[in-house]
Amino acid sequence: MVTGSLMGILSPVVATMSIQPVIAQKRASNFSVAEATAVAYAALNEGAPATTPVPDDCELLALEESSAYSITCTHGDAPYKQSVMRSFRLAALEGGTNDSTVTRREYTPGVFCPLWDPWGIINYNDSHNVQCIPVPYGPWAYTYDGEMLW
């Protein structure tokens, strides 16, 4: 009798505990999709001169008076909905204007950044009075067919 009473009281708790791994797996899956979308968008726009179109289920927020942005992506339905925020920054260029808050200087045509200064910010741009075009060295070096400047 006592055992039957205890089982009647504990059954809802046991049932709830037994589905927790399934709930956690669904939340993790939704988090993975949201994070992949946010990270891919931030990586695509990091160092770019302007932002690309925002993916579905994402919101882009420009930080005040800077070239920094944050993107928040969500995936899933309540109560399994997950949200991720990632930040990135556009190319920091000087001179010229692209918008009212950030001044930028356009890239100097035909001038690619050297291997030792891939963004031109160590001293290449200042020394040569240019804004070199960043070139993806490393895994993508084989795609670069410009002048080698090192």
pLDDT digits (tens, 9 = 90+) for 89-124: 887 655 444 444 445 567 778 888 887 787 788 888
pLDDT at 89: 87
In this structure, the dihedral spanned by the alpha carbons of residues 56, 57, 63 and 69, taken in order and rounded to 10 degrees, is -50
Q: Give the H/E segment covering residue 22.
A: helix 2-45
Reported confidence tier of residue 150, pLDDT bands at 50, 70, 90: very low
- Least confidently predicted of 5-19, 23-37, 38-52, 75-89: 5-19
Cα dihedral across residues 81, 53, 88, 136: positive or negative: positive
Distance CA 69, CA 72 (A): 10
Query: Which of 11-15, 117-121, 138-142 is the most confident on average?
Result: 117-121
Higher-pLDDT residue of 142, 32: 32
11-37: b or e for each residue (b if 16 or more CB lie within 10 Å)? eeeeeeeeeeeeeeeeeeebbebbbeb
Is 133 a residue whose pLDDT tops 70? yes
pTM attached to this predicted model: 0.56
Is 8 a residue whose pLDDT tops 70? no
